[in-house]
Every structure is written in C-alpha cells, then in structure tokens.
Amino acid sequence: MKHPRAYLLPTTEEEVFAAVEFGQKFEISVVPECGGHSFEKYSYMATCTLDLRKIEQVVLHSHQ
C-alpha cells in the first residue's frame, strides 16, 4: 500500500489555506481526509494528506 509523504493535522482555517496554497505552488497533491473510510482510498494516493478532524467546518471557493 502506498502512503502519503506528509500528513498534516491543521487546527485553524489559516493552516488549511496555507497547506493548499503550498501544494498548488509546488505542484504537490494535497488530499483532504475527514476520519472516515473511502472505498477509493484517495488520501493514500496523495503526496500530502490533510486530516481535517480538528476543523469543524470547511467552505470551498472556486477561483476559476
């Protein structure tokens, strides 16, 4: 089984934003994980797993 190279556990919205921004800047795959199970196991295929269990709410905004 392939494992992520980094595992982050942010506690604030700013830390989530910084992780995503870092991933975009350096073309690193950052995949959210919320403690549940996934049939596809996307979080294991990522370079960086972003564990959101300490975050109560995440709102995504598209900047296309």
Number of Cβ within a 10 Å radius of residue 49: 22
Question: Does residue 62 sit within a domain?
Answer: no
Total number of domains constituting the chain: 1
Question: Does residue 16 sit within a domain?
Answer: yes
Question: Does residue 61 sit within a domain?
Answer: no
d(CA 45, CA 64): 25
pLDDT of amino acid 7: 87
pLDDT of amino acid 10: 93
Taking only the tens place, the pLDDT of each residue in 10-60 is: 999 899 999 999 999 988 888 888 765 554 555 555 588 888 889 887 677
CATH number at residue 40: 3.30.43.10
Domain that holds residue 42: 6-51
